[in-house]
């Protein structure tokens, strides 16, 4: 399940960055599993796409062959979502009926299944936002919600995997700075949400300098929108600045945590690996920014974020249990 969800996040990122997400303009949970099978079917789907604002604004000269590519990107994303749902639901109900689920853990498995189902609805809710009101992209807020839920599901699956690997028995030793471990995991999650806002507004294609933003530490126009809260999700300058600041915060807390646990033999290797991942990810983020967010670098940046997140969840779990 972890591998499937990681694949889903990567494919979702590719779908977003190739502007493929709005190519399927209807939500058909059952019949949508079958792609167009004839030339007339393809023409019909293409005609539906031609009616939305994105086509008129960005792809008025798109060919049917080009449409087939973005259609299959989105169809593959939705199809993988169906596979994930079945891959979890079928074994869950099998082991539930066989009474073979770990004692006292049924609720957690049910919550994961419920979140997977909700995630499908969030996906359509996100896509629907790009089909109306002359929008040419989905709402960045809904995109961030969709990505955030994917990482919550991934975190629950990873934590459950670690619990199963440990035999569901907790032999808690002295906790090792659990609040600091939680803070690091939370900051990484918030940074991922901030990254979704960057992707959703194409903020990575502007202010392509570092460490300053066009000669300023705090970019001009950071508070340009009113009310103030809108700057966090709609002001490109503020969105990119916040993403940078959260990266610095993640690195700082990771260093502090490493310094605190470097004398604990069981925790130091995990903290060291996470620290290395975070600094590599920061360097990759700067490179991606300086290159104006080309597709391959942007995808690699998102892919590495998955492992930073899993590392942070692992460190938090270890901090709580003391091993």
- pTM of the predicted structure, to 2 decimals: 0.93
Of 252 and 51, which is predicted with more confidence?
Answer: 252
* Alpha carbons 135 and 146: distance in angstroms, whole number: 18
* Consecutive H or E run containing 137: none
- Both tokens of 237, joined, read 């300058």
Exposed (0-12), middle (13-18) or buried (19+): which is 216, by Cβ within 10 Å?
middle
Quick check: 241 and 219 in contact, CB under 8 A? yes
Which tens digits make up the pLDDT trace of 209-266? 999 998 999 999 999 999 999 999 999 999 999 999 999 999 999 999 999 999 888 8
Confidence of residue 322 (pLDDT cuts 50, 70, 90): low
Mean of pLDDT over the chain: 92
How confident is the model at residue 323, as a pLDDT?
A: 55
Residues counted in the chain: 323
Q: Is the pLDDT of residue 316 over 70?
A: yes
191-202 burial, b if ≥16 CB within 10 A, otherwise e? Answer: bbbbbbbbbbbe
Of 321 and 278, which is predicted with more confidence?
Answer: 278
* Alpha carbons 86 and 72: distance in angstroms, whole number: 21
* Consecutive H or E run containing 314: helix 295-321
Q: Would you call 216 helix, strand, or coil by DSSP?
A: strand
Confidence of residue 173 (pLDDT cuts 50, 70, 90): low
Choose among 57, 70, 60: nearest CA to 21: 70
Q: Is the pLDDT of residue 11 over 80?
A: yes
Quick check: 179 and 316 in contact, CB under 8 A? no
Which tens digits make up the pLDDT trace of 115-154? 999 999 999 999 999 887 777 889 999 999 999 999 999 9
How confident is the model at residue 320, as a pLDDT?
A: 84
How would you classify residue 102: left for phi > 0, otherwise alpha for psi between -120 and 50, otherwise beta? Answer: beta
How confident is the model at residue 17, as a pLDDT?
A: 84
Q: What is the mean pLDDT of residues 283-306?
A: 95
Choose among 151, 225, 213: nearest CA to 188: 151
DSSP string, 43-63: HHHHHHHHTSHHHHHH-TT--
How confident is the model at residue 319, as a pLDDT?
A: 86
Q: Is the pLDDT of residue 169 over 80?
A: no
Quick check: 200 and 139 in contact, CB under 8 A? yes
Tell me the percentage of the chain whose pLDDT exceeds 70. Answer: 98
Confidence of residue 60 (pLDDT cuts 50, 70, 90): confident
């Amino acid at each position: 399940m972890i591998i499937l969800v990681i694949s889903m996040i990567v494919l979702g990122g590719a779908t977003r960055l190739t502007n493929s997400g709005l190519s399927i303009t209807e939500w058909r949970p059952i019949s949508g599993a079958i792609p167009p099978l004839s030339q007339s079917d393809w023409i019909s789907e293409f005609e539906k796409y031609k009616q939305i604002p994105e086509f008129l604004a960005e792809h008025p000269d798109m060919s049917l062959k080009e449409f087939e590519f973005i259609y299959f990107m989105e169809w593959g994303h939705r199809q993988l979502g169906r596979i994930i749902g079945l891959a979890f639901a079928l074994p869950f109900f099998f082991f539930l009926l066989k009474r073979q689920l770990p004692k006292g853990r049924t609720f957690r498995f049910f919550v994961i299944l419920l979140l997977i189902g909700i995630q499908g609805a969030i996906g359509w809710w996100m896509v629907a936002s790009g089909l109306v009101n002359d929008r040419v992209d989905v709402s960045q807020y809904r995109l961030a919600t969709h990505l955030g839920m994917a990482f919550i599901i991934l975190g629950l699956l990873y934590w459950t995997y670690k619990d199963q690997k440990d035999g569901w028995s907790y032999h808690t030793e002295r906790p090792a700075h659990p609040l600091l471990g939680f803070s690091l995991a939370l900051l990484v999650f918030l940074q991922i949400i901030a990254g979704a806002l960057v992707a959703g507004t194409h903020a990575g294609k502007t202010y392509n300098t570092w460490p300053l933003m066009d000669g300023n530490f705090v970019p001009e126009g950071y508070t340009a929108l009113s009310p103030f809260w809108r700057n966090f999700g709609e002001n490109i300058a503020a969105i990119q600045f916040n993403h940078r600041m959260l990266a610095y915060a993640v690195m700082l807390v990771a260093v502090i945590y490493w310094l605190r646990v470097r004398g604990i033999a069981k925790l130091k290797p995990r903290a060291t690996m996470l620290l290395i991942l975070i600094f590599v990810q920061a360097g990759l983020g700067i490179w991606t920014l300086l290159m104006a967010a080309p597709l391959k670098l942007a995808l690699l940046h998102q892919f590495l974020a998955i492992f930073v997140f899993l590392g942070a969840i692992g460190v938090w779990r270890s901090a709580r249990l003391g091993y």
